[in-house]
């Protein structure tokens, strides 16, 4: 059942605390999502003008982009942005504090890449905010401020090991696209990189305004789907392609398009123009797992997509994704996601 928007007397103030070399999409993606939710709320209340905007006060969110020094801030993409000074903000007015990412290189001393003034401001302001979040390597700032101690946290997969080494009190999970960790009545959200920040923002919007508004925001953004936080940072096809290099690129594309058919080692070997024995050996050497495990993972992922993107019955999805029977689909899905397929659909479907 869709969640209902809680009553709130005023627009929620979302502050993005940013550092020099900001990764633009880490901030701009979520800001755009909050604005699309604002448009959806205005449309529902009848305050949306013909131009798609309104001169009135915001009814859902107002966002502020702020930095230590304020003014023009250089970004990683080279495009400067204008920010407010953090010390001009009243922390008591901040509903949601979000820290976007900056480039952090494996060869550099992590501590030297973080602004001490920004770390100190986050540590002081965070306890007064209703919730705190980071996008991508913004998790390094939350960790440096002590906000992730004893918590599960996500970040970009390339920086996960580095975050764990630098901050051993943080339980870093490199897999999910975002994580909500609530302790002592306070929620801290962390997400993977770039587009995962949009998924995080949509989850925050759903928590505040309900499923319908979040889906309206997602539709306005024309995102492919509203992804649940537990989803892996990689699609199974992309993971397999990245592991194997170019040798099996065409095969993985063919597998993804033919999940409904027979994908035995013999059939895959034929498609790859190898003997079954040679194919099985070279595939494991290149990908690090058997062909059967790749097929199984791709089928479960395809079923998850079908559940949230369509109203097709389980029997049809099981056939389309190569499971044969509903029972096989249920078993595979519960092993991978820990929930039943229809429960997954009820939680994440577009309508």
CB atoms within 10 A of CB 174: 17
The single residue of 28, 59, 136, 209 carrying the catalytic annotation is 136
Greatest extent of the chain over all pairs of C-alpha atoms, in Å: 69
CA 74, distance to chain mean position in Å, is 25
Q: Which residues contact 202 (CB under 8 A, 6 or more apart)?
A: 33, 214, 217, 218, 223, 226
Per the structure block, which two tokens stand in for 230?
A: 């537990």
- CA distances 229 to 59, 81, 90, 226, 347, Å, are 26, 29, 31, 9, 12
Per the structure block, which two tokens stand in for 325?
A: 């029977």
Helix (H, G, I), strand (E, B) or coil at 16: strand
Give the helix/strand (H/E) hosting 191. strand 186-191
Tell me if residue 209 is catalytic: no
CA 192, distance to chain mean position in Å, is 6
> Catalytic residues, which ones?
136
């Amino acid at each position: 059942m869709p969640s209902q928007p809680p009553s709130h007397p005023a627009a929620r103030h979302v502050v993005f605390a940013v550092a020099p070399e900001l990764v633009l999409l880490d901030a701009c993606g979520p800001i755009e999502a909050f604005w699309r939710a604002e448009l959806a709320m205005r449309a529902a209340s009848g305050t949306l003008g013909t131009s798609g905007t309104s001169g009135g006060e915001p009814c859902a969110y107002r966002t502020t982009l702020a930095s230590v020094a304020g003014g023009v801030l250089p970004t990683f993409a080279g495009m400067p942005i204008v920010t407010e000074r953090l010390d001009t903000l009243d922390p008591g007015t901040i509903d949601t504090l979000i820290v976007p990412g900056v480039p952090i290189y494996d060869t550099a001393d992590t501590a030297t890449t973080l602004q001490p003034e920004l770390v100190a401001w986050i540590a002081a302001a965070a306890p007064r905010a209703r919730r705190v979040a980071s996008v991508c390597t913004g998790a390094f700032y939350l960790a440096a401020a002590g906000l992730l101690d004893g918590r599960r946290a996500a970040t970009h997969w390339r920086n996960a090991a580095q975050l764990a080494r630098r901050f051993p009190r943080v339980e870093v999970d490199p897999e999910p696209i975002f994580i909500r960790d609530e302790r002592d009545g306070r929620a801290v959200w962390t997400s993977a990189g770039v587009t995962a920040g949009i998924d995080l923002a949509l989850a925050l919007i759903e928590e505040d305004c309900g499923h319908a508004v979040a889906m309206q925001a997602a539709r306005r953004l024309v995102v492919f789907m509203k992804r649940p936080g537990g989803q892996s940072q990689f699609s199974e096809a992309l993971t397999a392609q990245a592991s194997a290099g170019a040798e099996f690129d065409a095969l993985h594309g063919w597998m993804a398009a033919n999940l409904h058919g027979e994908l035995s080692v013999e059939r895959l070997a034929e498609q790859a123009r190898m003997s079954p024995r040679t194919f099985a050996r070279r595939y494991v050497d290149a990908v690090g797992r058997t062909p059967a495990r790749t097929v199984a993972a791709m089928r479960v992922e395809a079923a998850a997509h079908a559940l949230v993107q369509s109203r097709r019955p389980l029997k049809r999805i099981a056939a389309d994704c190569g499971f044969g029977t509903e029972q096989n689909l249920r078993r595979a899905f519960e092993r991978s996601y820990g929930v039943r397929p229809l429960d997954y659909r009820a939680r994440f479907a577009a309508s």
